[in-house]
Amino acid sequence: MNFQTHSVLDAHIHYDNPALMPDLIEILDHSQIGKFNIVCTPHTNRLSLVPDALHLKAHYPERVYVFGGLDISGLFTAPAACGVYFAGYLDKLVQMGCDGVKMIEGKPDMRRMLSIPAFDSPAYAPYWAKMEEMSLPLIFHVNDPEEFWDPVLIPDWAKRQGWFYGDGSYVSNEVQYSEVLNLLHRHPGLKVIFAHFFFLSNQLPRLSDYLDEFPNMHIDLTPGIEMYYAFARNPDVARDFFLKYQDRILFGTDIGAKGLLAGGGIDPVDSQIRVDLVRSFLEKEGEFRVVSGQGFLMEKFAGPFQGINLPASVLEKIYHTNFERLAGEHPSPLNPDAIIQECQRLAAVIPAMGAARPGEQADPSVAEMVSHYFREQKGA
Ligand SMILES: [Zn+2]
């Protein structure tokens, strides 16, 4: 599809293997995405994907931002004191050259797998206080589409991913909303970006109330295909919302999420559909469709969708200036010594932690490779 020329920064990309670097760069160049942000999630047999992201940033220091993930081993070693550990880990992330923090811990399957304490519990309190004090931006995945709790409404593709949460063993979405709102009341300075429109694309008046109440709260546009269906039901209302909250909305695609969940690297077709979907929605007037049946987690969703044709000045904000205001106009520089130290620590901790899933082997190889890479850089 043809779009207007804009400088586009993708705030939400996943990257789980340094071997994917050329593929990722090629896809982003092809999609006319300049700067981008890698959001690091925990990993079942490698603990952390922060080393991969920092290695990528070393190759493209002006182009790559990194929102580091917390070291979830802190949840196992001392769950009741995890907030103290995570608060300390923020210093480490920043020293290494991370630009912010990513938490996927509010995705219900993740929360159950890691036995995560309530976000507003005393266990987490020191961490939130430190986040607010450091003024670090956070991309926070809280909940999932509401139909994932409903045995009738949940889509098949979501069920196949193991994302049916209605059997009573998962946290409910309303419990998590109230935990997170409690946090924002306690820490109104927290610079938070809720991923996937906070899963409230279907309840815009409610989302408006939260955005009005918490001036440091933001949302990203990363699909959730259901968001674009919700917007299409009433494009005029959606457009008014985007105009009103033009300073609080960030562009993102989830490119790389497929590789993370299903293996097989970065899929050019899936990636292009994501970019086309979000940009068409923002820029086109009237009905549009995307290539049907091929996007990962988007099957059966071909549209029609409705574009909201935003003015160029608003697109500029959503495409990059809102992110830059939160995370800086340029990615922060890397500190090789801090990275080497943390990668060496990870390489030692990973085998001790083992793999989270039966049949998997703990894998310290990337942490070792990245530590070796930065040692060589220093020597050069
Ligand atoms: Zn994601």
> Residue 246: which CATH number?
3.20.20.140
pLDDT along the chain (380 residues), means of 10: 83 96 96 97 93 98 98 90 97 98 96 93 97 98 95 91 94 97 98 98 98 98 93 97 98 92 84 94 93 61 87 98 98 98 97 84 96 91
Number of domains in the chain: 1
Residue 2 domain-assigned (yes or no): no
Cβ contacts of residue 271 below 8 Å, gap of 6+? 27, 31, 253, 255, 256
State the distance from the centre of ligand 1 to the C-alpha of 193, rounded, in angstroms. 12
Rounded distance from Cα 359 to ligand 1 centre (Å): 25
How far does the centroid of ligand 1 lie from the alpha carbon of residue 255, in Å?
8
Structure tokens at 351: 């085998």
Question: What pLDDT shows up at residue 291?
Answer: 72
Residue 16 Cα to ligand 1 middle (Å): 12
Ligand 1 centroid – CA 12 distance (Å):
6
Q: And the tokens for 87?
A: 């608060």
User: Residue 3 domain-assigned?
Assistant: no
Residue 318 belongs to a domain: yes
pLDDT value at position 293?
Answer: 56
C-alpha torsion 41→46→50→54, nearest 10: -140
DSSP string, 258-307: HHHHH-SS--HHHHHHHHHHHHHHHH-EEEE---TT-STT-TT----EEE
Whether residue 180 lies inside any domain: the answer is yes
In a domain, 170, yes or no: yes
Rounded CA gap, 77 and 70, in Å?
Answer: 14
Question: Amino acid letter at 21?
Answer: M
Tokens linked to 3: 């779009």
- Cα distance between the two ends of the chain: 44
1 inside domain: no
Distance CA 350, CA 237 (A): 49
- Tokens 């969703």 found at: 301
pTM for this entry = 0.96
Which residues does residue 106 pair with via DSSP β-bridges, in sequence order?
142
242 is in which domain, residue-wise? 8-379
Q: Which of 358, 357, 373 shows the shortest CA–CA distance to 47?
A: 357
Phi, psi at residue 124, to the nearest 5°? -90, -15
| CA–CA gap between residue 184 and residue 188 (Å, rounded) | 5
Cβ distance 81 to 122 under 8 Å? Answer: no
On whether residue 39 sits in a domain, the answer given is yes
Of 295, 299, 297, nearest in space to 276 by CA: 295
Domain annotation covers residue 218: yes
How remote is the CA of residue 26 from the centroid of ligand 1, in Å? 20
pLDDT of residue 314: 98
**Residue 76 alpha carbon to ligand 1 centre in Å:** 24
Rounded Cα gap, residues 209 and 25, in angstroms: 39
Ligand 1 centroid to 247 CA: how many Å?
Answer: 21
Give the position of tokens 């993370």. 260
- How far is the centre of ligand 1, averaged over its atoms, from the C-alpha of 40 (Å)? 9
